[in-house]
Structure formats: structure tokens, C-alpha cells
Amino acid sequence: MKIQRIAAFSDGAIGGNPAGVVLGETMPEAADMQRVAGEVGFSETAFAVREGDHWRVRYFSPEAEVPFCGHATIALGAALAIRHGEGVYSLQLNNGTISVEGRRDGERYAAALQSPPTESEPLAPRALADALSLFGLSEADLHPEVAPARIHAGADHVLLMLKSREAVAAMRYGFARGQQMARAHGWVTMLLCHAETPQLLHTRNAFAYGGVYEDPATGAATAALAGHLRQIGWPHGGRIAVHQGDDMGVPCRLWADITPEAGASIRVSGAARVM
């Protein structure tokens, strides 16, 4: 089994969130994919097999399968461009169909995914209390115009929009408790966010659900965030830039293009660096 290692959403020649990519002739057994993902050790590994005119894709973190992973999809787009040429590839996920475009970009590659449909809803009081307690936050830390929410674009995430950049940088939580909470609520990641401007946001993503303390770049959560901002009438201007990973020393840069249609797919793009 050949494993490609590609850092998605890199900042030029540095940073990016590493993902494993396996392009195979047949889809391995789930237990084998879970084992390989654990051995690779990245937050996700994507396994893809061509089936007719599309690619069947499954994503595994070191401890669990996840329904959709953005940065591993960007890495997959680069891997497909390397092997099969530039173009748009249809991907069949466990719960729907999306696409990824891969292309050469100078010495590196770039890719853009079209996310599953988006939706969001306010957090229930008990879920909000859990999330705030986990991160040692209070309601006074929250952005007054963006209520905490469950956001979705192929997977569920919890969003806490914070008033200060410093509060995002200070993210800390107890891993065991966070993992239990994330799995109980079905939150694939827990997203802390600060808006420097309406079009430039800084984020951190706790990924205890998948056995990883923090993800340096999270395309699925970025798509869900963009969809939520559209839903609440945020002045996004049709595109947002997301800076993630800076507080980990792993700079990652993501862009999300937002169409006016409620619930529509979000285009998330970025660079891909072969490791």
C-alpha cells in the first residue's frame, strides 16, 4: 500500500496540515484503513479507489472514521493531479458526492474542493455550557453578533466565535474530557474563531473526536463556518480568508468562496505541498 504524504493549505513552502493519501485498486477493509491511519499518525488519511466516473473516498483519523475531511480532500486533489493530470474529480463519500480540483501551481500544487451542503443551528443551552466549560470560557468571551452554533458541511462542528484574538491563541482543554464530549455531541471538531475583519478570520480546531489534540488546518470546518456566516447575514463579501495553525507554529492558509444560495456548497481552496 503506497502512502503519499501531502501538506494541505500550506503557506508557500512552509506549514500546511499533513494528510496521508492512498490511491488503490480496491478499497481496503475498514480495520486495515484504521490501522494504516494510526500508523501514519496524521490527523487524517484519505483512501480513494476509482469506480466508474468517480472516486470512492473514505477518511480515517488515528482513532475513528470521519464522514468528510477537507484538508485530506485537498491533499487527494493534489495526488490525483500528480498521477492523472490537472482537472476536476468527482468524489463519492459515505454520505454524498462532492468534487475536488487539482492543478500544478509553480513548484507545488493547488486544489479546491466543493463541500457538501451546509446548515447550522444555535447550540442548545446544555451543549453551550459544556463547550464553554471545556475551554475555560464564559459568555463574556463570546462575540456579541455571532451566537455559538452547531455548524455542518459534511460533518458537525461546534463554533465559538470569540471577541479577542488572544482568547483564541490561549486555547487549552482537557483532552480526555474533550474527546468524551465531542463524541457524545457528535462534534467532529470544536472551532474557536476570531474575526480580525469580516473577511479575515483566525481559527483553532480541537479534534479530540479523532484522537488528535488540534488540527492545524480544517477545510471541512472552514466550509461549515462559511456556510454559517452566509446563513446569519455576515458581511463576508463573497469570500473569506482563514488563518489557522499560526498558534501551533504551522501556518496554514484557507480560502472559502461563498455563493448567495442558502445551504449551497462552499468552495474551499489552498496550496498543497508534497512532503
SS3 of the chain: the string is CCCEEEEEEEECCECCEEEEEEEECCCCCHHHHHHHHHHHCCCCEEEEEEECCEEEEEEECCCCEECCCHHHHHHHHHHHHHHHCCEEEEEEECCEEEEEEEEEECCEEEEEEECCCCEEEECCHHHHHHHHHHHCCCHHHECCCCCCEEEECCCEEEEEEECCHHHHHCCCCCHHHHHHHHHHHCCCEEEEEEEEECCEEEEEEEEHHHCEEEECCCHHHHHHHHHHHHHCCCCCCCEEEEEECHHHCCCEEEEEECCCCCCCCCEEEEEEEEC
10 against 1, higher pLDDT = 10
For 224-246, what is the mean pLDDT? 98
- Confidence at residue 249, expressed as pLDDT on a 0 to 100 scale: 96
pLDDT band, residue 1 (cuts 50/70/90): confident
- The answer to whether domain 4-113 and domain 119-269 are alike in fold is yes
Residue 165 has pLDDT above 90, yes or no: yes
Residue 35 has pLDDT above 90, yes or no: yes
Q: For 169-203, what is each residue's pLDDT tens digit?
A: 999 999 999 999 999 999 999 999 999 999 999 99
Q: For 40-91, what is each residue's pLDDT tens digit?
A: 999 999 999 999 999 999 999 999 999 999 999 999 999 999 999 999 999 9
Sorted by where each begins, the domain ranges of the chain are 4-113, 119-269
CATH architecture type of domain 119-269: Roll (3.10)
Give the chain's mean pLDDT: 96
Residue 108 has pLDDT above 90, yes or no: no
CATH class of 4-113: alpha beta
As a whole-number percent, the residues of the chain with pLDDT over 70 amount to 100
- Confidence at residue 106, expressed as pLDDT on a 0 to 100 scale: 85
Residue 123 has pLDDT above 90, yes or no: yes
For 18-25, what is the mean pLDDT? 96
